[in-house]
Structure 1
């Protein structure tokens, strides 16, 4: 183990042990059972790992950093999600075709897309957003297309155009200004309009959409074809 890492570990384990069993040796872990990870005091791309009492100094893969919160891979999180709080790291990417860093999440293109690229060990794998969502490069995740109007057409993504008004006697009117509508041939989703743009909503687990109430219900309480589909 490097001397700098060893010195940092003395500080970390000493702080952890205060008020319990007193100071511990640098070669000891505070807990002897299970797996625990501790931040390096100087390096943001390194951390200390205790596995059943065995201590090791670990380095995050290229594109990942340690903050104790994320677990994109081996206790490390994507670099854009980590606040290093003054700890240092080498931002040099190790690039491969389709991947800036060995680990990362990237857009397929600058256009509206319902897929994105997830890189692991430098291998780009295209991932699908959930139905009705599009990739948002600002958050490195999927979002409602009406939150991406600078690149997306929500009507094209969802496949539905929200009406400017609804019949006051229709079930949809109950939810105005966020009217709801069924999805043709889909018993597990509905469409709700927000500021005139459609959003595809998925019912919870073991729930189906009731066209008469425009709500997600237990299949036993739905008197349509979705009753049998949900079971």
Structure 2
């Protein structure tokens, strides 16, 4: 190696090692440029650049007593759009996050919780679908990528009925061959309800009862 190259290499390491970050305040955590997952942590005026784990975002609104790397739905990055490349594992598309499972819009109830690259499979309660916009289990008709009729196996009849809550858009139907479950059609979309153990759906009263003779 030439003397000039050696000098340049030494200068590079000196600059790298002695890199100083300017802290806006003596203590705190601050955004770094256009990045949504990097941040500057300052302690007594000394700054250290850090990066959130893959799948998490830096929340500049988090208090000093809260871990600042949080799920995307909890963080508003604004114009900070830069992210590190995805670091998928055998189980997960990102090291951290919640992801809906299923290959089509009729498979809506399972989701994957990824923690440090390891995936844990969960299922929503009966009749509910995983909503990737909120990370909650919700009615399937309010989940954008879920087809409620295909998922629940029931399509609401087109013709309006007189029964319901006084409004034509709310209609009740017993689940075929099942006395404990029924569908409530809301604006043409089904929602599945369960009367619970020992109770049965009464089609004439449009409610649950413990009288078995009302179920046909």
The TM-score, its normalising length taken from structure 1, stands at 0.54
Structure-1 residue corresponding to 2:88: 95
Q: Is the 8 A contact 2:55 2:95 kept in 1?
A: yes
Partner in structure 2 of residue 155 of structure 1: 149
SS at match of 2:53: coil
1:205-224 map, 5 Å: 214=206, 224=209
Q: Go from structure 1 to structure 2 and tell me whether the alpha carbon gap of 1:74 and 1:149 turns closer, same or farther (over 3 Å shift).
A: closer
Q: Which residues in structure 2 correspond to 1:47-58 (within 5 Å)?
A: 48=41
Larger radius of gyration: 2
Is this contact kept in 1: 2:86–2:94, CA < 8 A? yes
Residue 158 of structure 1 and its aligned partner are, at CA, apart by 2.8
Q: How far apart, CA to CA, are the structure 1 residues paired with 2:31 and 2:121? A: 36
- In structure 2, the partner of 1:32 is none
Q: Which runs of 5+ in 2 are unaligned?
A: 1-18, 212-216
SS for the counterpart of 2:149 is: helix
Which runs of no fewer than 5 residues in structure 1 stay unpaired? 13-25, 30-37, 216-221, 227-231
How many residue pairs get aligned? The number is 176
Paired residues of 2:94 and 2:117 also in contact (CA < 8 A) = yes
C-alpha change, 1:68 and 1:179, in structure 2 (3 Å) is: farther
- Residue 169 of structure 2 corresponds to residue 174 of structure 1: no
RMSD of aligned alpha carbons: 4.5
